[in-house]
Amino acid sequence: MAIMVKSQGNHHAGVVVNDRDKRLLRQHYPWVFGRSVKAVPKDIADGDLVPVYSEDREFIAWGFFNGRSQLRIKLFEWREESFNLKEKIRERIRRAYLFRHQVLKITGQTDAYRLINSEGDSLPGLIVDVYGGSAVVQVNLLAFYQNLNLIIETLGDIVQVDRILVKTDEHYAEKEGFELRERWAVGGGDGRAIIRDGDLLFAVDLLGAQKTGFYLDQRDNRRVVKGLAAGKRVLDCFCFSGAFALWALKGGAKEVVCVDSSEKALELARENLRLNHYAARIVKAKAFDFLKEQAAGGERFDLIILDPPKFAPKKKDYAKAMKGYFELNRMAMQILNQNGILVSCSCSQQVDQESFVAVLNQAAISLGREMKVIDVKTQAPDHTFVPSCPETRYLKCIISEIE
């Protein structure tokens, strides 16, 4: 149906937000938090697309409302005129597809990529990743759960895949008020897929996987590691399925050690090494424990990659996360040869790039060493971000020489 603005004299139906937030929201900041909401009409239900107004009754945007969530409204459209919601969803899925294929020309590099990146593609709470002949749809917004059949149908028309898996992040689903069991919406099977990245092959387990099956956002950063690895002894901490390690080996690394605490991840790493005819030492251990043991044993590496899980899921975790990043990177620097290379990553939205670089520098100084930044990278360009919302540019990858 067409979504229309309702008018009653000089007052318009819709959600009213504080005037102090108006300027930020007009810059297309995509989120309205509960503390910003001044008034909500009684007839608005969770999942509804509603107009959002300032206190002086100026139209700001259309957004998806959910009274259960602290993130009360996810903004969707900044033009006031009426539109058909289903057609708008279809249009944005098509636009996301064309951006990846015509602008990024991503299939020339890989057959695994992010097709829809939530707010970055103006489809908040919707993530779609393509893995060769399979697609994984992660729904984290009630409104898109309610339109899931439309999304699957549109993907089937646009993307050349044989299977579509649907899932959710349980944390978001609980806040939004829906349940979605991981299931095949199209096709089926055991969840295994083989993808191509450059001329390397990777086995991916789509069912019950971390994220949607693979860390697609690190694609370009792994290629940087390839260019730095020749002749070096390399340590890949939090290696997951060994993607950084394989790119290091492809770049001519002398030796690679892969460390992860998950046996399931290490099985994938072993399989990926076999697929590409490379060898590496595989170690099941917690990264902090392994780094401590290596320091005690006098081991040294020329290049160390740190790609840990999210240390700061929420704002309240910030101080603890910064302490964790300091300790982790300090321990890595202790076993890094003079003028060795540290590739240190953070995927915590709450930690900005400047603060992350600063904590790495503090770790180096605490050891009497100097940090010289070689490059500052972020997520691959198919992981689009919102310029007015730094949280959507979540990945920091700092590549440094530690003198």
Q: What is the pLDDT of residues 256-269, one digit of tens each?
A: 999 999 999 999 99
β-strand partners of 260: 284
Does 120 lie in the same domain as 99?
yes
Q: Look-up: residue for tokens 């107004």?
A: 53
Does 370 lie in the same domain as 295?
yes
In 263-335, where do the E strands start and end? 281-284, 301-306
Does 190 lie in the same domain as 326?
no
The residue among 47, 81, 115 that closes a domain is 81
Q: What is the CATH number of the domain that holds 127?
A: 3.30.750.80
Does 189 lie in the same domain as 219?
no
Instruction: Tell me the pLDDT tens digit for each residue of 205-246.
Output: 999 777 788 999 999 999 999 999 999 999 999 999 999 999
| 200 domain residue, yes or no | no
Pairing of strands 281-284, 255-260: parallel
- The CB density around residue 101, as the number of other CB atoms within 10 Å, is 16
Active site residues per annotation? 347
| 277 domain residue, yes or no | yes
Does 391 lie in the same domain as 257?
yes
Does 394 lie in the same domain as 304?
yes
Residues lower than pLDDT 50 in the chain: 1-12
Range of the domain at 172: 85-194
Does 300 lie in the same domain as 151?
no
Does 223 lie in the same domain as 353?
yes
Can you give the pLDDT at residue 135?
A: 97
Does 148 lie in the same domain as 223?
no
The residue among 49, 81, 113 that closes a domain is 81
| 323 domain residue, yes or no | yes
pTM over 0.95: no
| 206 domain residue, yes or no | no
| 260 domain residue, yes or no | yes
| 325 domain residue, yes or no | yes
Q: Could you give the C-alpha distances from 248 to 26, 88, 180, 236, in angstroms and in order?
A: 44, 43, 38, 9
Q: What is the CATH number of the domain that holds 279?
A: 3.40.50.150
| 210 domain residue, yes or no | no
Does 146 lie in the same domain as 261?
no
Does 143 lie in the same domain as 117?
yes
What's the number of domains the chain is made of? 3
Does 335 lie in the same domain as 234?
yes
| 8 domain residue, yes or no | yes
